[in-house]
Amino acid sequence: MDQEVKKTITEEQEKALAHMQKALSITREEFAKYFEGVESKFGELKCSMCKTSMWVVPSRDDDPNLMAILTLPLPLSHGRGMWVYPVVCKECGFMTYFASSHVAAKIRGQ
């Protein structure tokens, strides 16, 4: 007898999946506009190492139009992490990060 196993997804898991899909869909062009808006509001983002303000926005390997995403591990939470969009200083290579959930919510809406 074959039994069909049904997996139920909780409401919390559905929300998490929606946030992940939103974060994965952000293009480099959309992020650049977001970044420009942040700079116009708070001033030019200067590298904390070399003090220049020329930044590179890395792309994903599978699609050069989409933002690269890094996962920062969470202490004491095996297998869990926080997704961030990296921004790299063009002069010295220093990296800074933007929380993908925050940026994606600003670009795509809550």
Asked whether residue 4 carries a pLDDT value surpassing 70, the answer given is no
| pLDDT 10s digits, 49-103 | 999 999 999 999 999 999 999 999 999 888 889 999 999 999 999 999 999 999 9
76 and 65 in contact (C-beta within 8 Å)? no
Asked whether residue 107 carries a pLDDT value surpassing 60, the answer given is yes
Q: What is the pTM of this model?
A: 0.84
Of residues 70, 59, 61, the one with CA closest to residue 96:
70
Asked whether residue 3 carries a pLDDT value surpassing 60, the answer given is no
Exposure letters 61-92 (e unless 16+ CB within 10 A, then b): eeeeebbbbeeeeeeeeeeeeebbbbbbbeee
Cα separation of 108 and 37, whole Å? 15
| pLDDT 10s digits, 12-47 | 788 878 888 999 999 999 999 999 999 999 999 999
Q: What is the pLDDT of residue 76?
A: 87
Q: What is the pLDDT of residue 97?
A: 97
Q: How many CB atoms lie within 10 A of CB 28?
A: 19
